[in-house]
Amino acid sequence: MQTRHVIAAVALLAATPCLAAIQWSGDFESGNVNQYTGTQEVSSDRLQVVADPVHQGKYALKVTVKQGDNPINASGNRNELFKEGRTEEGTETYYRWSTMFPADYPSANDWQLFAQWHQPEDCCGSPPIQFYVRGEEIRFTVSTAQTEVWKTPLERGVWHDFILHVKFSDNEKVGFVELWYDGQHVVPKTSAATRANDYLKLGLYRAASIEPTAVLYQDAMVRGDTLEDVMPPSSSPPRDPGPPATTPTPPSGPTTPPTSSNSPSLASSGSSGAGAGGGCSASTGAPALALALLAGSALLSRRRRGVRVYASTLDLNTARVNASSSRVGWGMWRAIRRRSSTIPSASSKRYLRWSGSI
């Protein structure tokens, strides 16, 4: 009997996949923005958690920016959330999020950032990682030199999925980025000075010269240690061809966001949110499950034959009985009551004999 249980547990260990682990969720399923470190907004109607439209779960973030919105007295107009932490030198991680630009999203020949990882200093050029709209294109640039590594036509009215693989480093030979867009691997590992100790900003930050009011939606932001960790539950990981890192060449043309002063210290702070910890490892997931099953199988395989059981008033009141000199749990007592026709009363210490395996 015990051998069969051990074999079954080992087989399950071999067949059970490692469960994905999200390191942090900023997906608004809390019904508010408290998963983030804080906000930079001129009023509470600029960053609203809404139930429609959503891309995943029950809630998404509606972002509104009007000309003149400048909550931190810096360059441009903005309303953004920010999240600090887990970007130290050499940290490698994955982010996934989704953005939708409505049908009436304004077209402007200037920069409109919807996601960025800002350098820790309150100075020193454009963010080292930034995603923005310019005209009718979505663009992705790295380093404070605004080196363009990818762009694609802007499509309005649909959700767009982004997965960013990044290693944070001040050294351009150590740091890199990699990108999946709408399920396609569009940027291979590309060397860049991504900067250590960046902080994430999600919302909308744009040139002050843009007049029309802009609305966009953000959803499903998560961070994990592996590509599998950040994939939606119903999706399979995009194939990673794993090419060697390349160094992009800065393109010619107009620049994007200028140097800005947008340190989180200038914003109102919210409560930080923490997701489930830890990626899959040898000490978590299926191995832990298998160990639990092995322990359970050992207990199940024990047979109690000819157990001499008595019950006292005190024991019944505390839902326990005594078997010989050891205590037996409430589950065994219920099993004994089901399997034996001779049940001791609460007022006596009448003995019964019961045989079987529980």
3-state secondary structure the chain: CHHHHHHHHHHHHHHCCCCCCEEEEECCCCCCCCCCCEEECCCCCCEEEECCCCCCCCCEEEEEECCCCCCCCCCCEEEEEEECCCCCCCCEEEEEEEEECCCCCCCCCCCEEEEEEECCCCCCCCCCEEEEEECCEEEEEECCCCEEEEEEECCCCCEEEEEEEEECCCCCCCCEEEEEECCEEEEEEEECCCCCCCEEEEEEEECCCCCCCEEEEEEEEEEECCHHHHCCCCCCCCCCCCCCCECCCCCCCCCCCCCCCCCHHHCEECCCCCCCCCCCCCCCCHHHHHHHHHHHHHHHCCCEEEEEEECCHHHHHCCCEEECCEEECHHHHHHHHHHCCCCCCCCCCCCEEEEECC
User: pTM for the whole thing?
Assistant: 0.66
How far lies 233's CA from each of 26, 99, 127, 224, 228, in Å? 16, 18, 31, 14, 9
- pLDDT, tens digit (0-9, with 9 covering 90-100), for 105-147: 999 999 999 999 999 987 777 899 999 999 999 999 999 889 9
Q: What is the C-alpha separation between 171 and 194, in angstroms, rounded?
A: 8
- pLDDT, tens digit (0-9, with 9 covering 90-100), for 288-331: 454 555 555 544 444 444 434 333 333 333 333 343 333 444 44
Q: What is the C-alpha separation between 228 and 94, in angstroms, rounded?
A: 9
Contact 190, 245 (CB under 8 A): yes
- pLDDT, tens digit (0-9, with 9 covering 90-100), for 63-79: 999 999 999 999 999 99
Maximum CA extent, the chain:
95
What per-residue confidence (pLDDT) applies to 21?
Answer: 85
Spans of the chain, pLDDT less than 50: 6, 9-18, 239-241, 244, 249, 251-254, 260-261, 263, 265-288, 290, 298-358
What per-residue confidence (pLDDT) applies to 340?
Answer: 42
